Amino acid sequence: MTKSSVNNLNIQQIKDFFEARPILKHFVLIVLAFLFILFTVIFWLRFYTNHGEKIEMPDYIGRNITQVKSDAEDRSFEIVVTDSVFVVGKSGGEIINQNPKPKSWVKSGRKIYVVITKFDPDKITVAELPILYGNEYNQKKNELAYRGIECVIRGKKYDPGEPNHILEVYYNNELIIDSDVFRAEVEIDKGGVLEFVLSDTEGGELLIPDLRCKRYTEAEFLLQSSKLLVGFIEESGSITAREDSYIIAQDPVADGITKIKMGSVINLVISQTKPADCN
């Protein structure tokens, strides 16, 4: 028997087998049809998902979100804003970060997640600021810079304490902080500017102190603490112990109105006995 005859016989036997069993025949046909559909779907999906797979991601950083959305749609991308932050010096709606990164290769239809700048600045109230009055300027300047607030020196004012300490704070040309004022409710823009008046120990003026009737040692201490100098000392009568003597006159005279510059000299007249009109 030839090989061809054997093959024909086998095929006929298979046909006879399934014709004698119609249920089994239909089951096999269903399985074959399912496998055909399955392989067809797999092949189509593979072709569909691979189609346009190598698309280079555009660089949208630094561009406005409105312009980018139109461009992304043309490239079959979708823009999704995930966050917004205020950045000093940048206009609102500017993209500052994106994912996937620019120049990467992605599939078409991919979502692009972006972070944009806010249109309105964040605000902080005066109550939320660190304590400013009476503190050293440079230290507080660094703390405020961390909060995005700029500091400038508006001027200086004499103060007998330490130099370069904060005496007054202004915002938008209005006083918001000093020894008597604290406008806690005022809102300051992030990126805003605070102006400061600082303490200065040079060039100040003060009322002429009244030294009459004080012991010499007490008067000397008051002059030194006020950054004034003891000038010429005239003795009235016999002086046995200068430190226990009394001031009976001074030049210039204290009148409660006239001021004198720091570093100026006050001349004294002293007596060993206390004047009768002194308490």
Cα separation, 159 vs 165, in Å, equals 9
Pairing outcome for strands 265-271 and 246-251: antiparallel
Of the pLDDT bands very low, low, confident and very high (cuts 50, 70, 90), residue 6 is very low
For the stretch 117-151, pLDDT in tens is 887 778 899 999 999 999 999 999 999 998 889 99
Whether the bond between 58 and the residue before it is cis, its omega within 30 degrees of 0, is: no
Prior bond to 100 cis, omega within 30?
yes
From the list 137, 260, 263, the residue with the least C-alpha distance to 202 is 263
Residue 169 token pair: 């704070």
* 24-40: pLDDT as tens digits: 556 666 767 777 777 77
- Residue range 170-208, pLDDT digits in tens: 999 999 999 999 999 999 988 889 999 998 877 677 889
The answer to whether residue 54 scores a pLDDT higher than 70 is no
Residue 127 CA, distance from chain mean position: 16
Beta bridge partners of 115: 83, 97
Predicted confidence (pLDDT) per residue in 228-279, tens digit: 899 999 999 999 999 999 999 999 999 989 988 888 899 999 999 998 888 7
Q: DSSP state, 243?
A: G
Residues 6+ apart with CB under 8 A from 25: 18, 19
d(CA 26, CA 261): 117
Q: Of 83-92, 165-174, 257-266, which gets the smallest average pLDDT?
A: 83-92
pLDDT for res 130: 94
Q: Angle, to 10 degrees, between the axis of helix 22-50 and the axis of helix 3-19?
A: 100
Distance CA 218, CA 45 (A): 100
Query: Which DSSP helix (H) or strand (E) runs through 9?
Result: helix 3-19
